[in-house]
Each structure stands twice: as structure tokens, then as C-alpha cells.
Amino acid sequence: MGRLFGTDGVRGLANGDLTADLALHLGEAAARVLVGGTAPGRRPLAVVGRDTRISGQFLEHAVVAGLASAGVDVLRLRVVPTPGVAYLTDRLQADLGVVISASHNPMPDNGIKLLGRGGHKLDDAVEAAIEEAMDTPVALPTGADVGRVTPYASTVADYSAHLVESLDGLRLDGLTVVLDCAHGAAHEVGPRALAAAGATVIPIGDRPDGLNINSGCGSTDLRALRQAVLEHGADAGFAVDGDADRCLAVDHTGLTVDGDQLLALLAVALKDRGRLHEDTLVVTVMSNLGLHHAMRDAGIRVQQTAVGDRYVLEAMRSGGWSIGGEQSGHVILGDHATTGDGLLTALQVMARMKRTGRSLRELAEPVVRLPQVLVNVPGVDRGRTDDEVLLAAVAAAEEALGDSGRVLLRASGTEPLVRVMVEAPTQPEAQRVADGLADVVRERLAL
């Protein structure tokens, strides 16, 4: 078997790459690898949740069958956001959690994410062990040793209560917001949690039919959100994706507030309350330089990681840091969650608005985004980005830009391609520098 797990679980075309048979064997293998050390007299336990894709129904049953066949009891959470599964994995002291979702991908795709005890994502070594187990058949339990499967009745209530509790008793009365649920996993719990916190909620994208997830809505398409905010005169609007682990926003004027701006305002909020550990924010190398400037001015240190929320999580856990995330809207608030949580992000942004009496536009203003240009250069040797001439060209470009811009070279992990990213004070300047460096990449790294 080739590498099965990607950067965020197993993902592919449902019933094409990702079949019921694969899901069943993945569930059975995951049970064998992740279940161990169960206390005497306690049966191993897994929780399984999904988003609203129609393919999630058969994939859920297949995964559950695999887990139960390996002797694991299963609580079916049914439709719930990814961070809700992570929370309930921890709260219910489950040995593992499973999320069936392809996040922001189009409806035909689906995926399977596995979580270990405490609701944490798995590291590469554990994923490799699960893949190996799939290739190693063993005798399965029989009789009374097979797993039991039970629906969990209070999924939405429990997760909603957890979200509201993150506000430490603060009420959001007086705030009117639009929430775009992407016709996905947040369609029920999202409006419920925000309303329980006191906000007036105008939900859109809250009528899933199994086919319309992420279609012209949610964090991948903010047009419907922007229109609804302006139409209703709302204070702000928030959009999550299909599994609600990311969030983007628009202010009362309809302007987009991206992940960098949300991270910045939440980091400042934590610092003001004395809850920002070591005054540090964790972001990936793709975060805009404007974020770095804003954090410098606020007295907050920025710790950078490779691209991917799993690397942000690893850094946060190793450093004990409070907050991290990505420009795409993955915001991880370590005091309340083990993964990105779009609804938690929305609630905490609203809390900052409530505590300060300032609009979302005012709170987002310190991050002045620099124009960013990304040029992909295919057909090159991605293993030779340490070429001396190329590095000299990069250094010259960085010196010319100074503190007003930056250059980043990234080799693709899977194909002969190098990405050149440049930020500069103006779009034409960023494009000029990026195009020039791309030419050097082609000349020096040609295959």
C-alpha cells in the first residue's frame, strides 16, 4: 500500500478512492493500534461524527463496523463539527475519535480523520502503524467480545454548552451577527451556541440536503455572507467551512477579515487579559508580513512553523503556547480546544467586540496586509533550493525590500515544483520580484 494518510487524514473521492471497504478496514486497523491500556473492567470506546455529505452516511456505517468488529464500543455522534468530535473524545474519555469529513472540499469528496486520546491529531509514526496494520490481518473477536454501537443523544447540547462556557460568563446580548454554516456540520449547533451566548443570530447556509455543502457558501465563498450582513445591518458575519474547523469573517461594512487578522486581534485580547503564554502567537510561514508588524507593535512574539495546522498544533503543544493558526482561518485556542474551531473563534471575536465596545473593523485594522504574490515554478529539481546563485538572488531581493517585504521559497513535497512567494508594498513590485526569482529558479534548477 502507498502512503494512505495525507496532511489531514485520509481523503479522496467518495466511493472512488475512498470506499466503504477501505473505511471498514481503516476503522478495524485504527482500533488495533490506538486501543490499548484500557483499565480492567472498562471496555474500549470510540466516538464517531461526520459532516452532512450524503456519502458520510455509508462511510460512517463502514467505519463503525470496522471499530465494532475489533471489539471497540462506539458512540455515534452523528452530524457534528470536527472540533466537537475532538472535544467529546476528551470529555467522554474515549480511546479514539473519528471524523468523516472532507472539510472545505467539494461535496463529492470525503475523508476520515482519526484522533487519539484527549482529542489530539495523530503523529506520523502512529499513522504509519495504522497503515501497516491494514496490511496485517489478525483474528477478530467473537461472541460477547465484539463492540456495541449506540447513538449519543446529547452531542449538540454538550458541544454547545462547551462553546458557551469558553466565554467565562460574558453575555453577547446586543450583538447581531450572521452565521454562514456552509450547509455543513455546524448548521444546528452553530446558531444554537451563539444564541445561547446572548447574540442575535441570523443563520444562512443552514439547510443541508447532503449535496450542497460548501456550495456557494461558507468560508470558501463569502459573497452570501457579505450580502446578508449588509442586508440585515449586522455587526459582523462569520463563515465556517463544511466541518467548521475554520472561520473567516466580514465586518459591518462587508469587508473581509481573514485568518491573520482574526489571529492578531485574538492574540491581543489574550495578552490584555494576561492569558497569552509567553506573549507568543504561533503561525505558519505563509502568514502575511502585516501580521508580523502588528504583533511587533503589540509586543507579541511570532513563532513560525511549516504550512499546515498540524505543525502549528505541534509547536503549541511543545511550547505550551496559547494560540496559533493559519491565514485560511484555522484558529487554535489552546485553553479550550485541541484543534481549529470556527465556532469558538467566532464567539471569542464577538467577546472581544463586547468587552472593548469596538467594531470588528476597528479591531482588525492593526493588520495592514501587504500585497502577496505566489508563483509556482514546475518542472524543476525541488531538492536543490540551496543552490548558491539562487540563494544569492533571494538575499538580494530581501535586502532591497528591507522591512517592507519578504521572500519565501518552498519546495513541493510531492512534485517537481518550487513555490516563490513575495510580499512587497505594492502588487506590481511583488509581482516583479516574484517573476524575477521564478526565472532564476527555472534557470538554476531545470531538470
- The answer to whether residue 98 scores a pLDDT higher than 80 is yes
- The answer to whether residue 107 scores a pLDDT higher than 50 is yes
Q: Are 340 and 272 in contact (CB under 8 A)?
A: no
Instruction: Give pLDDT tens digits for 157-201.
Output: 999 999 999 999 999 999 999 999 999 999 999 999 999 999 999
- The answer to whether residue 394 scores a pLDDT higher than 70 is yes
Q: Which residues have a catalytic role annotated?
A: 103
How far separated are the first and last CA of the chain, in Å rounded?
Answer: 29
Question: Using CA atoms, how far apart are residues 43 and 362, in angstroms rounded to an integer?
Answer: 52
Residue 96 backbone zone (phi > 0: left; psi -120 to 50: alpha; other: beta): beta
Instruction: Give pLDDT tens digits for 115-125.
Output: 999 999 998 89
Nearest to 405 by CA among 421, 388, 418, 422: 422
**pLDDT score of 358:** 98
**pLDDT score of 412:** 83
**In angstroms, what CA-CA distances link 280 with 71, 274, 394, 444?**
43, 12, 28, 38
Instruction: Give pLDDT tens digits for 332-343.
Output: 999 999 999 999
| Sheet of strand 10-13: strand arrangement | 10-13, 109-115, 96-100, 45-50, 73-79, 149-151
- The answer to whether residue 398 scores a pLDDT higher than 60 is yes
Strands 280-284 and 301-305: parallel
Q: Look up residue 376 and give its three cell numbers.
A: 509556482
**In angstroms, what CA-CA distances link 31 with 2, 117, 127?**
21, 12, 12
**pLDDT score of 1:** 46
Question: Using CA atoms, how far apart are residues 310 and 302, in angstroms rounded to an integer?
Answer: 17
Question: Using CA atoms, how far apart are residues 345 and 329, in angstroms rounded to an integer?
Answer: 9
Instruction: Give the percent of the chain with pLDDT over 90.
Output: 92
**pLDDT score of 40:** 64
